Amino acid sequence: MADNPLHRATLGVLAVDTAAAFVLAGHAFALLGRVEVGADPDAAAELRVVAPLAKLATGRLAVACASEYVEAFGGAGYVEDTGVPRLLRDAQVLPIWEGTTNVLALDVLRAVSREDAGGPLLRRLAAAVDLARPLSADLADTLAAVTGELTAALAEVTADPRAVEVVAGARGLALRMAAALACALLVEHAAWGDEQAQVAAGLWARRRLRHEDIAGDAHRHLDLLC
């Protein structure tokens, strides 16, 4: 199984999702730390939108990834004495206990419309576009396009946060914001990190921002990603 291209591709895709979840959680922790010690007056505003975005995105990613891991183990993934099924049960509590996706998405709307919390997010995305340009023009262009898309979407939220279309689309918007933020954070890491971060950023952008099939490249880069 370890040498099977399909199995390796599946693990590679999971590694990309895990990398994105890791930087989202880490960024939320870092902002919280700066807020608690009063080190950054702008951190509180950014944390207001990053916290619900990180919770809803990582909770959903945890469930999806855990389910794939259980399936990858086959029958052993379902047998209790392996301990593997518990991973899925433990993951499932995250998008419930930490706030359901819908509840957190509505909180994002409140943060954007009442507290202008979208501003710090858009500024981080714009800065990441500049950081991405030397790494990959394709990555930078993708992130720039999504930043423009979100700028327009958040303007609509601010203009009329109670509009039926705005409220009904809150989940999709929040997930899109979280995906863009994860991409920006991976780019920030890649700007000073190693090839692993750059590959993860590029594959995440293709998978979650452009909705492409990355299986072939996920297989090719599995050893680097893990």
pLDDT digits (tens, 9 = 90+) for 86-105: 999 999 999 998 889 999 99
Average pLDDT (173-202) is: 96
How many angstroms separate the Cα of 99 from the Cα of each of 56, 104, 195?
Answer: 7, 6, 35
Domain count, the chain: 1
Q: Residue 156: what pLDDT?
A: 97
Are 27 and 50 contacting, i.e. CB atoms less than 8 angstroms apart? Answer: yes
Strands (E), the chain: none
Mean pLDDT for 207-221 is 97
Give the model's confidence band at 41: pLDDT under 50 very low, under 70 low, under 90 confident, else very high. Answer: confident
User: Which residue among the candidates 68, 98, 165, 195 is catalytic per the annotation?
Assistant: 98
pLDDT at 193 over 90: no
**Percent of the chain, pLDDT > 70?**
100
Residue 200: pLDDT over 80: yes
pTM > 0.75: yes
φ, ψ (nearest 5 deg) of residue 37: -100, 5
Burial class of residue 139 (count of CB atoms within 10 Å of its CB; 0-12, 13-18, 19+): buried
CA dist., res. 114 & res. 136, Å (int): 36
What domain range includes position 139? 5-225
Whose CA is closest to 217, among 199, 197, 195, 194? 199
Tokens of 170: 């809150």
Average of pLDDT values for 53-61? 97
Clarify whether 156 is annotated catalytic: no
Calculate helix-pair angle for 43-72, 101-115, nearest 10 degrees.
160
pLDDT, one tens digit per residue, over 107-145 is 999 999 999 999 999 999 999 999 999 999 999 999 999
pLDDT for 183 equals 98
Nearest Cα residue to 25 out of 45, 41, 47, 42: 47
CA distances from 185 to 24, 26, 189, 199, 206 (A): 7, 10, 6, 13, 15
State mean pLDDT over 164-187.
Answer: 98
